[in-house]
A and B are shown apart, each in its own frame.
Chain A
């Protein structure tokens, strides 16, 4: 199980979701991915995408106008 990061800053929804989706397609179940975004819409869209596709949001927070979401690949 490995940890990965994804920079989705400056892209607007749904691009952060698409980038997350494409990155997760390369990962293994159990891996974690930390996504950093500047579009606050990602705070609802990425968890919604995770719920329907069977991944788990471990943690999410906003810091200095950035949204950081950590996902465990399902």
Chain B
């Protein structure tokens, strides 16, 4: 009996990687999934923070895909290593701060290391030629193959027939005839294949698999780097970019104003790392102050925060100002009039 070959599948949680893995399973390949967590992934997070999203619990689509396929899924934390990919992408950024080509090269390279360490034979991805402007352009697919080190052990079942035969095909581990030749942005062939396999209720993320394709998110990241004068971040920084309203009244400080209860609770966890503003006389947001502020600026920031409280139309609102070192003071301040909140403060 011939040896059962093993493939590691990059599972993003989207339809394409689900289909690619399913095609291999149907060809008798032992498939296990791998999912990389960069810190920017759309999966998870904010549904845990915002109350309105909690009513509709959000599943982790990578786990869901693995369950549909009946395969193991290994979720790997690459937060630290990914920093270099995002900060110094050799091939540059896409429409926003998404370094898709470098990201793909990095992830396939990590999958190659995992494959070698675990005695697997090849790697599969759900890439479709020409589907995404940056990482899936026809002329760029070979760049991923080459620079990741995966070489001909990288098989893309959904568009394999448009590409040169890879080792698994040449060796007869998989039947090339049963692979697909999808290309371009038309999603109908994938949807038809999903229907054939009986996959319904699959995820259809708009834009991409991570927040870096989102313009608002990217703007906040760029603002963070500009304000700090260096391209760097910690996990907490990138989490906070997903939470609250962000306003920068002056270059040296920014306010993160919670929008609802869930965010309030989440931001409370950061009270030791930031100076904070709490509205005491009315219902209102918790606000973090990112940056060093003078007493006068702290009070001005409190007037902005009060604008977002239920005391917005009151003559005076009582707020508690707490410095990072724990020093507290209660002050009464007039909320800033709506017309004085400048549009350009919003990041």
Contact = CB atoms under 8 A, between A and B. Distances in A.
Interface in B221-276: 239, 265, 269
Contact of A14 (B37, B64, B66): B37
Contacts of B59: 44-45, 48
Interface in B173-230: none
A53 interface: yes
Contacts of B44: 12-14, 41, 45
A66 B72 CA distance: 27
B63 A52 contact: yes
Interface in A8-51: 10, 12-15, 17-18, 21, 39-41, 44-45, 48-49, 51
B57 A44 contact: yes
A41 B64 contact: no
B242 to A, nearest CB: 9
| Prevailing SS type, chain A contact patch | helix
B132 interface: no
A52 B45 CA distance: 21
Contact of B48 (A12, A18, A48, A49): A12
B170 interface: no
Contacts of A51: 67
A53 B72 contact: yes
Contacts of B72: 52-53
Which range contains the number of B residues in contact with the other chain? 20 to 34
A17 B48 contact: no
Contact of A17 (B49, B57, B75): B75
Which range contains the number of A residues in contact with the other chain? 10 to 19
B282 interface: no
B43 interface: yes
B75 A21 contact: yes
B60 interface: yes
B320 interface: no
A5 to B, nearest CB: 20
Given A14-B43, A39-B48, A45-B44, 13 more contacts: A10-B269, A14-B37, A15-B37, A15-B77, A17-B63, A41-B44, A44-B57, A48-B59, A48-B60, A48-B67, A49-B63, A52-B72, A52-B73
Q: Which 10 A-B pairs have the closest CB atoms?
A: A13-B44, A48-B63, A39-B48, A41-B48, A52-B66, A45-B60, A14-B44, A12-B45, A18-B77, A18-B75
